[in-house]
Amino acid sequence: MDYVPLAVPFFLLAILLEFIFGWLKNNNTYRLNDTVSSLFMGSLSTASKIVLIGVGGAVFYAIETHYALWRMDDSLLITWIFAFVAYDLCYYCFHRIGHERQIFWASHVAHHQSEEYNLSTALRQTSSSFLLNWIFYVPLFLIGVPAKVFVSVASINLIYQFWVHSQHIPKLGWYELFFVSPSNHRVHHATNDIYIDKNYGGVFIIWDRMFGTFQEEQEDEPCVYGIRGPIRSFNPLWANIHIYLGIVKDFFRTEKFKDKLRVLVARTGWQPDDVAKKFPSKEYNPKTYIKFDPKVSKLISFYGFIQLIVLAIIGPFIIEYGSSNYILGVIYVGMLVFTMVSTSRWLEGRSAMYMEISRLFIFTIVGLFGSQYSQTYDAAIYLLIYTLINFIALPFLGKISNNQSTAYQHG
């Protein structure tokens, strides 16, 4: 059983409580634009599973059915304990190579782009991990871990990782000798030289201690969060594809055939010599880096917040409808993505007026079309009401965004 959907309401409640706690302690770790971006990324990751068909499930099924060396008994506690520990070891391997090799980093980088560190960061998930991450769990099926057990321990592992994304929880003494904690996971998300490529464990930190990738958080070295090639954007699509595009560009730019092959599997950040000379990477210094935090009006911030709330409300219905009808799923996910991209542009201090008009025009067509059928009538009416409210807000957003867009271009 996948326990993650059951945990989502508790995740959202915990985010709210952490925000309130930080605000009361005068140590707020949240920014609206960054939080909206993280939650958009999490929603996109969940919704994309409706329309993206991965090979992992098919491979797991084939192995379990035809090629497993033996089958463990899922009624035995030892099976669950073994699977839980073995899964985390496989996760460590996947997570480590996900930082150390370009093509794998491309599918993981989205989780690390937030320049803040809070519980919403835990929900900032990639939409492309289905392409490669399954490879690292094949051994579990080969040795006979049942699919039921695999899905359950995988979801428990993911749920555990939620709480360690916090700056408010101090070091936990002996606990950190064995388990991943907020302190050692803060290190993992930091860009400081001393912290780069450390602490990969999901539940158990013992793997890092065993394989030489452990680093303790230092009091004299505050963590600077984000990535060393900042994207300076809240766009969830760009967040998911920018490393892939960089790899493709380097592939075509380099003149050496061996470098064309190497760029796919090279260590993260590597560039062919001829490409590095023509297109050098920007230098990054965590001590002088200024966070990407465009200043926007309260109205635009409120508009972005409302879009997030609407998305949170309709998300479960989109997953339900999309799971039963693939075409509807594609349409709904496309509408979600359009909303996220447009809202992100507003929050970046840029005008999204033409994009917003196009989005609402498409929503109107979909709503009118859906209102013709009894099974989608109610949803279509709600969509049309939502679209009308957005249309009413546009003139006010447009007046404000013109000034902000000018400031963005000259900032």
pLDDT at 223 over 80: yes
3-state DSSP helix/strand/coil % of the chain, to nearest 5: 65, 0, 35
> How many CB atoms neighbour CB 277 within 10 A?
9
pLDDT at 116 over 80: yes
For residue range 4-20, list pLDDT tens digits in order.
Answer: 989 999 999 999 999 99
- Greater confidence (408 vs 67) lies with 67
Give the H or E element holding residue 53: none
Task: Classify the C-alpha dihedral 266-268-270-271 as positive or negative.
Answer: positive
Residue 28 pLDDT? 96
**Portion of the chain with pLDDT greater than 70, in percent:** 93
Q: What's the mean pLDDT in 323-352? A: 87
Least-confidence region, from 23-37, 69-83, 261-275, 326-340: 326-340
pLDDT at 234 over 90: yes
Give, in order, the Cα–Cα distances in Å from 3 to each of 11, 56, 152, 246, 318: 12, 19, 7, 36, 19
Q: What is the DSSP letter of 1?
A: -
Q: What's the mean pLDDT in 225-229? A: 94
- Greater confidence (356 vs 49) lies with 356
68 falls in which pLDDT band (50, 70, 90)? confident
Beta strands in 112-227, from DSSP E residues, in sequence order: none
Give the H or E element holding residue 255: none
Cα torsion for 365, 352, 118, 203, to the nearest 10°? 50
48 falls in which pLDDT band (50, 70, 90)? confident
Residues 6+ apart with CB under 8 A from 28: 19, 22
For residue range 120-140, list pLDDT tens digits in order.
Answer: 999 999 988 888 889 999 999
Residue 407 pLDDT? 47
Q: What's the mean pLDDT in 268-288? A: 90
Backbone angles phi, psi at 204, to 5 degrees: -105, 125
For residue range 21-37, list pLDDT tens digits in order.
Answer: 999 999 999 999 999 99
Please, which residues bridge with residue 225 across strands?
Answer: 190
Average per-residue pLDDT for the chain: 91
371 SS3 class: coil
404 falls in which pLDDT band (50, 70, 90)? low
User: Is the Cβ–Cβ distance between 134 and 56 less than 8 Å?
Assistant: yes
Tokens for 90, please give them.
């496989």
410 falls in which pLDDT band (50, 70, 90)? very low
Residue 319 pLDDT? 67
Least-confidence region, from 71-75, 271-275, 405-409: 405-409
359 falls in which pLDDT band (50, 70, 90)? very high
Least-confidence region, from 30-34, 48-52, 212-216: 48-52
Residue 137 pLDDT? 96
What is the Cα–Cα distance from 378 to 368, expressed in whole angstroms? 11
Residues 6+ apart with CB under 8 A from 360: 387, 390, 391, 394
* pTM assigned to the model: 0.91
User: Is the Cβ–Cβ distance between 203 and 179 less than 8 Å?
Assistant: yes
Identify the CA nearest to 279 among candidates 232, 315, 229, 327.
229
Residue 97 pLDDT? 96
What is the Cα–Cα distance from 114 to 339, expressed in whole angstroms? 20
Q: What's the mean pLDDT in 246-268? A: 93
Residue 132 pLDDT? 85
199 SS3 class: coil
Q: What's the mean pLDDT in 54-66? A: 83
User: Is the Cβ–Cβ distance between 99 and 110 less than 8 Å?
Assistant: no
Angle of CA points 356, 360, 365, to nearest 5°: 150
